[in-house]
Amino acid sequence: MTNGVRLAGSDQEIARCFPVMAHLRPHLVEAEFAGRVRAQQAEGYRLAYLEDGGDVVAVAGFRVMGMLMSGPTLYVDDLVTDETRRSRGYGKAMLDWLQEYARANGCETFSLDSGTQRQEAHAFYFRERMRVTSFHFAKKLK
């Protein structure tokens, strides 16, 4: 099914992730994407991608961090599968890889936020035995 999950290291690998990431983050500008990812990488962000047949089919942006409430955790900023390739196991493969990465890096918890409008994603997370543990509040400042 897949060629495996990889971490995007080069600008070319980062750029290959843009079309899939744009499904989740349509406000992003392709010409600025690699620079934005690079800036976040300086803060600990990692970009993982899953290929099938040479095409990027799923992307995840994440970071490992310490939190007072939970100890070491892997927090997923972004998790998306190409809209035309959903329900083929790619999301599960990425989620499984992320959780294994978390365990291998000493994390005690694994967490993510998901927009309230993403009901299909929520159903997927519930199937994967994830639970709603809090609400995330945000306010635009600009």
Three-state SS for 7-59 is ECCCHHHHHHHHHHHHHHCCCCCHHHHHHHHHHHHCCCCEEEEEEECCEEEEE
Q: Quick one: pLDDT at residue 1?
A: 44
pTM: 0.90
pLDDT of 90 > 60? The answer is yes
Q: Which residue, chain included where needed, has tokens 């309230």? A: 116
Query: Cα torsion for 106, 90, 80, 32, to the nearest 10°?
Result: 90
Q: Which helix (H) or strand (E) holds 65?
A: strand 55-67
Percent of the chain with pLDDT over 70: 98
Q: Quick one: pLDDT at residue 128?
A: 86
pLDDT of 112 > 80? The answer is yes
Query: What interhelical angle do 30-41 and 11-24 show, nearest 10?
Result: 110
Q: Are 81 and 57 in contact (CB under 8 A)?
A: yes
Q: Which of 78, 75, 28, 74 is CA-nearest to residue 49?
A: 78
Tokens for 128, please give them.
Answer: 């994967």
Q: Which of 114, 27, 123, 107 is CA-nearest to residue 71?
A: 107
Q: Quick one: pLDDT at residue 35?
A: 95
